[in-house]
């Protein structure tokens, strides 16, 4: 007979960075059952990382789950729109390509669009692949308007995410969560006592001596992983042999142009630099590998490649790429940096927090803590982290730069899962992705082609369709996208009209 669950009474979240407040906001919905209380502990003495500023489109689902008003959210976080990433210098110094959101063209008679494009492009009959993606066309023209729901309109294809100020985002979610009953406690966790028999976390004890008991603990304490590692010693799988960058410097600079609707990722001799435009400033950072450069050289490169004057000194960060062996261990679930780290090349960390929260809600335990929930959570988390890992490694493996850091990356052996994908694509432009892969086929195509993985042949099925018709369709598509983008407001105008942020003094 099916029995009633023994509901969790106290959820304790440790950490008030992006992960902690995203979890608190989402879990505040639990308070509706009248039984579960959510408490968040954070220490004003321990700063948050505070640099997660670029996101990917599923963030809009998270905002929708919370019922946030998008204009209000953008304005309160000094946000801007992101339509994709522009990569500079990854295959050679003057080369540029885009990873735009949304798809390229449309398939014809079950033959993939990019196969027609490969054929026509190689014959000099098609322009760059970006011209056949609406978001990429909007990036080139720095335009934006919101999508329309009518699927027959070209504007229904607009896919977007956001750039925002991570500190303001956490503050925004904090107001949301507190208004829905989440209790915030300020204090530094000093001890994490375990139950001697089960090894479960019993409570967290603050430096003040205050003890906070819980049934379920969510570790959002950042890189230190205070509960998942400090108390439970879960272990960490190190991926530095594939992704050896281990340091970053982050610095804000003044805006000198209206914010652009895309992130920039510029390859540098021993790493890469990001540029993220917000309404009140631009976020910049240099991710680099300490084996191949010094902190001083890295700082020089960053500071001499800012568009506007720096607004602060560069902030140093250190990390080890990899993942916690289990992201759910006993009665503790790790989210955010406590669960693992992948460099922000494809802006995936905040997404992985969101994905962790969704899985936790879908597998939410009761006080019996049936281990099947933990196992399912860990299996899915591992797969998601590995899929993102492979996608990021691709940017390094398929590079054409001369510096030792890049040469090493080009000659490394990569995970089999990625090797198979690259080989198949190189042979005939074919691609098979796992159905749960975060990155759509269009993302893989954009980065594979952008990084210079050029198929040797196109799909023979592309030859079965009238070449005149194919050419007509491609030409028409490019014209429709160009006209649609031309008619849109500039991204700067869109922000000023619909979601202007308060001016900062």
Q: Which residues bind ligand FAD (CB under 6 A)?
A: 14-20, 41-43, 46, 48-49, 51-55, 166, 188-189, 220-222, 224, 226, 248, 250, 285, 317, 319, 336-338, 344, 347, 349-350
Nearest CB to ligand FAD, comparing residues 79 and 285: 285
Nearest CB to ligand FAD, comparing residues 105 and 187: 187
Nearest CB to ligand FAD, comparing residues 227 and 398: 227
Measure the CA angle with vertex 457, ends 452 and 463; round to 5°.
Answer: 130
368 membership: H or E segment, kind and range: none
Nearest CB to ligand FAD, comparing residues 350 and 414: 350
Which listed residue (82, 112, 143, 421) is catalytic?
82
Query: Cβ 380 to ligand FAD, closest distance in Å?
Result: 18
Beta strand extents in 258-397 (DSSP E only): 263-268, 271-277, 282-288, 315-318, 322-324, 328-329, 332-334, 340-341
Grouping H, G, I as helix, E, B as strand and the rest as coil, residue 36 is coil
Pairing state between β 322-324 and 315-318:
unpaired
Query: Cβ 342 to ligand FAD, closest distance in Å?
Result: 9
The 10 Å CB-count burial string (b at 16+, else e) for 341-360 is bbbbbbbbbbbbbbbbbbbb
198 membership: H or E segment, kind and range: none
Query: Cβ 245 to ligand FAD, closest distance in Å?
Result: 9
CA 337 to CA 18: how far, in whole Å?
A: 10
Nearest CB to ligand FAD, comparing residues 90 and 481: 90
- Residue closest to 165 by CA, chosen among 76, 251, 83, 273: 76
Query: Cβ 426 to ligand FAD, closest distance in Å?
Result: 30
Whether the Cβ atoms of residue 56 and residue 161 lie closer than 8 Å to each other: yes
Query: Cβ 212 to ligand FAD, closest distance in Å?
Result: 11
Measure the CA angle with vertex 488, ends 487 and 492; round to 5°.
Answer: 140
Whether the Cβ atoms of residue 314 and residue 253 lie closer than 8 Å to each other: no
Active site residue 82: yes
Query: Cβ 184 to ligand FAD, closest distance in Å?
Result: 11
Nearest CB to ligand FAD, comparing residues 220 and 306: 220
Q: Which residues are catalytic?
A: 82
């Amino acid at each position: 007979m099916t029995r009633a669950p023994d509901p969790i009474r106290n959820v304790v979240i440790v950490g008030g960075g992006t992960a902690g407040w995203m979890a608190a906001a989402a879990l505040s919905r639990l308070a509706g059952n009248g039984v579960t209380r959510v408490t968040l502990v954070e220490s004003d003495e321990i700063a948050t990382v505070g640099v997660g500023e670029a996101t990917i489109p599923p963030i809009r689902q998270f905002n929708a789950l919370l019922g946030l008003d998008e204009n209000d959210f953008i304005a309160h976080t000094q946000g801007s729109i992101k339509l994709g990433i522009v990569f500079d210098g990854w295959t050679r110094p003057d080369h540029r390509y885009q990873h735009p959101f949304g798809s390229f063209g449309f398939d014809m008679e079950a033959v993939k669009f990019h196969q027609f494009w490969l054929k026509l492009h190689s014959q000099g009959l098609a322009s760059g692949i970006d011209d056949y993606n609406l978001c990429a066309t909007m990036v080139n023209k720095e335009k934006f308007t919101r999508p329309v729901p009518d699927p027959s309109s070209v504007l229904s294809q607009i896919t977007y995410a956001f750039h925002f100020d991570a500190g303001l985002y956490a503050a925004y979610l904090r107001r949301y969560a507190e208004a829905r009953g989440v209790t915030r406690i300020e204090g530094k966790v000093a001890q994490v006592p375990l139950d001697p028999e089960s090894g479960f976390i019993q409570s967290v004890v603050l430096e003040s001596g205050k003890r906070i008991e819980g049934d379920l603990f969510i570790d959002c304490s950042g890189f230190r992983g205070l509960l998942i590692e400090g108390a439970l010693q879960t272990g960490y799988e190190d991926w530095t042999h594939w992704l050896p960058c281990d340091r970053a410097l982050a610095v804000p600079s003044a805006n000198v142009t209206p914010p652009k609707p895309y992130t920039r990722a510029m390859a540098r001799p021993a790493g890469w630099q990001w540029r993220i435009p917000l309404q009140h400033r631009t976020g910049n950072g240099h991710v680099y590998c300490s084996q191949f450069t010094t902190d001083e050289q890295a700082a020089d490169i960053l500071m001499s490649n800012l568009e506007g004057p720096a607004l602060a000194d560069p902030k140093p960060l250190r990390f080890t790429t990899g993942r916690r062996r289990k992201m759910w261990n006993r009665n503790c679930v790790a989210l955010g940096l406590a669960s693992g780290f992948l460099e922000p090349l494809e802006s995936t960390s905040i997404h992985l927090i969101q994905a962790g929260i969704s899985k936790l809600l879908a597998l939410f335990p009761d006080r019996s803590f049936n281990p099947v929930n933990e196992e399912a959570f860990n299996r899915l988390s591992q797969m998601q982290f590995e899929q993102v890992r492979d996608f990021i490694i691709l940017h390094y493996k398929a590079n054409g730069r001369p510096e030792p850091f890049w040469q090493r990356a080009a000659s490394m052996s990569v995970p089999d899962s990625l090797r198979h994908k690259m080989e198949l694509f190189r042979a005939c432009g074919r691609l098979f992705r796992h159905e749960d892969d975060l990155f759509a086929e269009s993302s893989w195509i954009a980065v594979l082609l952008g990084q210079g993985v050029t198929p040797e042949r196109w799909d023979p099925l592309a030859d079965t369709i009238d070449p005149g018709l194919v050419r007509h369709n491609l030409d028409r598509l490019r014209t429709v996208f160009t006209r649609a983008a031309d008619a849109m407001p500039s991204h700067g105008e869109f922000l000023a009209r619909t979601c202007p942020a308060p001016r900062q003094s």
